Amino acid sequence: MLDRQPRRPSRRRCHKRSRRFPLRSITSTAMFTYFFITSTIVVPLLTNFGFTTPVARGAPVSQGLSPPPVDSGIYPDPELCHGNCSWIHDPAIVYEDGTYWRFATSGNIGIATAPFLQGPWTYRGALLPHGTSIHLREDQDIWAPTITKRDNTYYCHYSVSYIGSQHSEIGLATSSSLTPGTWTDHGSIGLPQNSRYNLIDPYVFQDSKDAPIYFSFGSYWSGIQQIEMTSTDQLRAWTGAENDIKNIISNTTTNFAVQEGAIMHKHEQYYYLFFSVGQCCRRAFELMPLGDEYHVVVCRADSITGPFNDAHGKDCLTENGGTTVLASHGDVYAPGGQGVMVDPKSERSVMYYHYGELVSCLEWMGVELC
């Protein structure tokens, strides 16, 4: 995050939309960030990993992880969102007893619920209304929550950092309910800071109740890190050695060395690691050249620990591998912060993510859920 531009937009007032793109007639604002849910991308990907990686016009094949096209028409457009849909970033969604629960960056981890993935979403409150016990500095923020359930306890791992910093921590809060007001903050889980990685964007994956727990995190520097944890206790207070932290994804290509927000999804016998690549969240006057901005990449492995390869067989740790599955297109700019889940209601694999919308004056305005 040393060179990163602000990934959290300032809280300017967001105009309510009644249909697809009414803001084209509003001159005071022009760029939104949304959250989109689709099975259009994920289902073909999981059933046929041999498709061709999108390559931008003029991009040399030797570049490794290829910059995506922005006008190819191969990506689906976002759907509408209903209810509380503004200022959502790095969303995490879980389903419990007929209700979808959404947890998001900032606002001390804002919580919202909905009867369907598309909404209507209702804001319920903050997970940590008084903030975290982790204190780095006054302008710190709480980023990228991830939710898991262990027996009858919910775990929310989160990262604490500030823009442009590698001085970060990963913390934990627990609750017997997903409801705001029931969460207990435990502070840092004790992962060591190190110059080769950044302690942000945690994610927890476990194949089955008796299988090992795998904890991933990281961005910038040497990419995505993974730890095998021997017990649930390690999720509360990690006691391992620093050499237990393994680098599983790395890319040294210019403008694509940024990798973050990795999530694991298993389909049949394969493990898919989705992560965000490129420069995130530039302001209107600092927008990256099209093709260098945030987009979603995937690598696949036979084992949860790797090695991970892209659709062309390139190693995603040693050969700059990675297959782009979602990128800027039309008015959709810099999609990322993705999650993948099997929707209990439709029983389909879906991907959700945030993105910016480009119209008229190209201004970063806010975040919405679609």
Confidence of residue 112 (pLDDT cuts 50, 70, 90): very high
> How is 32-77 classified by DSSP, letter by letter?
EEEEEEESTTHHHHHH-TTSPPP--TT--GGGSSPPPPSS-S-SPP
Q: Rounded CA gap, 331 and 322, in Å?
A: 24
Options 90, 169, 201, 363, the catalytic residue? 90
One-letter identity of residue 114: A
In the residue annotation, 90 being an active-site residue is answered as yes
What mean pLDDT do residues 231-235 have?
Answer: 94
Taking 80 as the threshold, does the pLDDT of residue 241 lie above it?
Answer: yes
Count of CB atoms within 10 A of residue 225's CB?
24
What is the per-residue pLDDT for 275?
95
What is the per-residue pLDDT for 84?
84
In the residue annotation, 315 being an active-site residue is answered as no
Confidence of residue 41 (pLDDT cuts 50, 70, 90): low
What is the per-residue pLDDT for 174?
99
What is the per-residue pLDDT for 292?
81
What pTM value is reported for the model? 0.83
**Most confidently modeled of 1-5, 194-198, 302-306?**
302-306
Taking 70 as the threshold, does the pLDDT of residue 254 lie above it?
Answer: no
Q: Which of 6-20, 71-85, 326-340, 343-357 has the lowest mean pLDDT?
A: 6-20
What is the per-residue pLDDT for 294?
87
The mean pLDDT of the chain is 79
**In a 10 Å sphere around its CB, with 0-12 CB exposed, 13-18 middle and 19+ buried, how is residue 243 labelled?**
exposed
Task: Report yes or no: 339 and 326 within 8 Å, Cβ to Cβ.
Answer: no
Confidence of residue 73 (pLDDT cuts 50, 70, 90): low
Options 169, 201, 260, 331, the catalytic residue? 260
What is the per-residue pLDDT for 56?
32
What mean pLDDT do residues 172-185 have?
Answer: 98
Cis-peptide, bond into residue 120, ω within 30° of zero:
yes
Confidence of residue 264 (pLDDT cuts 50, 70, 90): very high
Whole-angstrom Cα Rg for the chain = 19
What mean pLDDT do residues 222-237 have?
Answer: 94
Task: Report yes or no: 229 and 245 within 8 Å, Cβ to Cβ.
Answer: no
Confidence of residue 339 (pLDDT cuts 50, 70, 90): very high
Q: Which of 62-76, 135-149, 257-271 has the lowest mean pLDDT?
A: 62-76
Taking 60 as the threshold, does the pLDDT of residue 226 lie above it?
Answer: yes
Which of 3.20.20.70, 3.40.50.720, 2.115.10.20, 1.10.10.10 would CATH assign to domain 27-51+68-367? Answer: 2.115.10.20
Domain spans of the chain, in order of start: 27-51+68-367
What is the per-residue pLDDT for 289?
72
Task: Report yes or no: 240 and 227 within 8 Å, Cβ to Cβ.
Answer: yes
Q: Rounded CA gap, 91 and 76, in Å?
A: 19
